[in-house]
Structure 1
Amino acid sequence: MQIHQSRLSGWRKPIDKQYADIPLCLCSFVSGLCDSASFNASSVFVSMQTGNTLFLAIGAARLPPNVPYMWLRAITSIGCFMLGCFCFSKLRHVEPLRKGTLAFNFFTQGVFIFVAAALAQSGVVSAMADLHVAERLAGELHFDFNLLIPIALLAFQFGGQIVTSRMLGYNEVPTNVLTSLYCDLFSDPNLISPWSSNPKRNRRVFSAVLFFLGGLSGAWLAKSDAGMGTALWIGGALKLVIALAWLVWKEKDVAFEKN
């Protein structure tokens, strides 16, 4: 009983934010992985909403003619991403940097990805699992409206992901987009300073590289027998690993800060 109470008490304590950028950089890999699968399946993104905003504008003009309902796909992703940002931001009212809160946050994100993966793998949304099915539907100019379900689920949890990066204070690792990251990286006056002297630059580099590797991994999985659904399972598993990591993360030394 005492061990159980001690563990629960520990989960209520805030984390030490040192090295908390590592899980966030790993989230960049998950973003690339899921965006790769989503784009191959539905021609829209689930984490990068700048591209989706352009797709919405193009789709409103009924372009491109070979991608029906582009506007609907894009607005579903954008709307659910916004909703995710709104909902996950409410965690600030319950100590967002507590171990338990962060674990719950990432566990929830992982569950949303797993549900999307299960829908793909079970055949409910086969275009999200099999690249050949997605290509056949695209060739027939047919849109499977069931695709909107995993798009919504994935976009919602990615809204939570970027909100968490803000809560942790690592604004240089947005985890979802690279445009501002590239700008900040290459306009940094200390761009070529020694490795240990510029941690923000290092985080930006790692985030960009991991995002690329995630996208590349998703593309190769889509071409393989494993399929795009496997990319989603991997993304969900990584979110659960991060959730568990928060539970055993080093606690913030409040006494040291007071002194």
Structure 2
Amino acid sequence: MTGFTDAVMFTAVYIWAGFQTGNTTQLSLAVARLFAGPKGHHDLTFQISDKQALTSLMTFNGGAFIGRLGDKMGPMSRAWLFLGSMIQALFTMAAAIAVWKSGEPSVASDRFNPAWTSALTFVAIGFMSASVGLQGIMGKRVNTQFSTTVVMTTVWCELMADPNLFRLNRYIISRDHKVIGILCLFVGGFAGRALIDQIGSAGTLGIGTGIRVIISIWWLFVPGKVNAKKVKGPETA
């Protein structure tokens, strides 16, 4: 879903929903422009791409903060995993409706001419980023090999550093789950872009909403971890 959501946003505005390293750096460059150029001719404009990056950054963290509610319910409880995933679905649905109502195109012609410029599309950017932010914090709390569902740079580094990287004749969870995560990101991005060409951003986000609902229901049937009971032997003096 990270690749799927990022594909929709990047195609329209060249901003990532989940890559907040890039958005933060972009904002730092916007501040640096204030001090560039000859004296008295500083660039004081806050460009639309900078506004979109700021919107994504703020709403991403807002969505991640909602994930703290899971700490009250139990971050690995079925109730929270279902509820949190449904909230992600609602965010994605809200983004789909906002894009649809805006009536703006889905594909930008170039980086300096984003397809989305209206207030409604800013709302869509916010909801998409919030959904990925909540997804990221929930994945982190689950604490599995798939916990890094947003920042794939970390996964790539851990994969390259894995001591079992070239042991191809064995199934190794620490390595193979990272590979699966990277492949899922690629497939999600590919599917998102392919759908945009056929049905546009709003329709693509609508399909994304359905996928998130399926994920929510899926959590109700995922088997829990079996805690092995220690068998105590007879006490010795």
Smaller-chain TM-score bracket? 0.7 to 0.9
**Does the 8 Å CA contact 2:5/2:189 hold for their aligned counterparts?**
yes
1:212 corresponds to: 186
Aligned length: 220
Greater RCO (CA < 8 Å, at least 6 residues apart): 1
**Does the 8 Å CA contact 2:9/2:125 hold for their aligned counterparts?**
yes
Q: Distance in 1 between matches of 2:166 and 2:94?
A: 43
**Does the 8 Å CA contact 1:103/1:246 hold for their aligned counterparts?**
yes
Q: Distance in 2 between matches of 1:157 and 1:140?
A: 22
1:10 corresponds to: none
RMSD: 2.7
**Does the 8 Å CA contact 1:45/1:52 hold for their aligned counterparts?**
yes
Deviates more, 1:71-80 or 1:138-147: 138-147
SS at match of 2:3: helix
Determine if the alignment matches structure 1 residue 150 to structure 2 residue 129.
no
Q: Counting helix residues as a fraction of each chain, which structure ranks higher?
A: 1
SS at match of 1:227: helix
**Does the 8 Å CA contact 1:56/1:74 hold for their aligned counterparts?**
yes
The verdict on how the C-alpha distance between 1:258 and 1:252 changes in structure 2, with shifts beyond 3 A counting, is farther
Q: Which consecutive unaligned segments of at least 5 residues does structure 1 have? A: 1-29
TM-superposed deviation, 1:186 = 0.9
Determine if the alignment matches structure 1 residue 117 to structure 2 residue 96.
yes
1:221 corresponds to: 195
2:27 corresponds to: 56
1:77 corresponds to: 56
TM-superposed deviation, 1:138 = 5.8
- The amino acid of 1:77's aligned partner reads S
TM-superposed deviation, 1:43 = 2.0
- The amino acid of 2:127's aligned partner reads L
- The amino acid of 1:36's aligned partner reads A
Mapping for residues 85-234 of structure 1, pairs under 5 Å: 85-121=64-100, 124-127=101-104, 130-131=105-106, 134-135=108-109, 139=113, 143-170=117-144, 173-194=147-168, 196-224=170-198, 226-234=199-207
TM-superposed deviation, 1:54 = 2.2
The verdict on how the C-alpha distance between 1:173 and 1:137 changes in structure 2, with shifts beyond 3 A counting, is closer
1:248 corresponds to: 221
**Does the 8 Å CA contact 1:68/1:143 hold for their aligned counterparts?**
no
- Which of 59, 63, 68 is the equivalent residue of 2:47? 68
**Does the 8 Å CA contact 2:60/2:130 hold for their aligned counterparts?**
yes
- Which of 15, 37, 42 is the equivalent residue of 2:8? 37
- The amino acid of 2:102's aligned partner reads V
The verdict on how the C-alpha distance between 1:172 and 1:71 changes in structure 2, with shifts beyond 3 A counting, is same
Q: Distance in 1 between matches of 2:141 and 2:124?
A: 26
Q: TM-score, normalised by structure 1?
A: 0.76
Report the identity percentage.
23
Q: Which consecutive unaligned segments of at least 5 residues does structure 2 have? A: 37-45, 232-237
Q: Distance in 2 between matches of 1:182 and 1:115?
A: 32
Q: TM-score, normalised by structure 2?
A: 0.82
**Does the 8 Å CA contact 2:26/2:53 hold for their aligned counterparts?**
yes
The verdict on how the C-alpha distance between 1:72 and 1:140 changes in structure 2, with shifts beyond 3 A counting, is closer
Q: Distance in 1 between matches of 2:157 and 2:142?
A: 21
User: Whose radius of gyration is greater, 1 or 2?
Assistant: 2
The verdict on how the C-alpha distance between 1:74 and 1:96 changes in structure 2, with shifts beyond 3 A counting, is same
TM-superposed deviation, 1:253 = 3.8
The verdict on how the C-alpha distance between 1:192 and 1:160 changes in structure 2, with shifts beyond 3 A counting, is same
SS at match of 2:68: helix
TM-superposed deviation, 1:239 = 1.1
- The amino acid of 2:57's aligned partner reads I
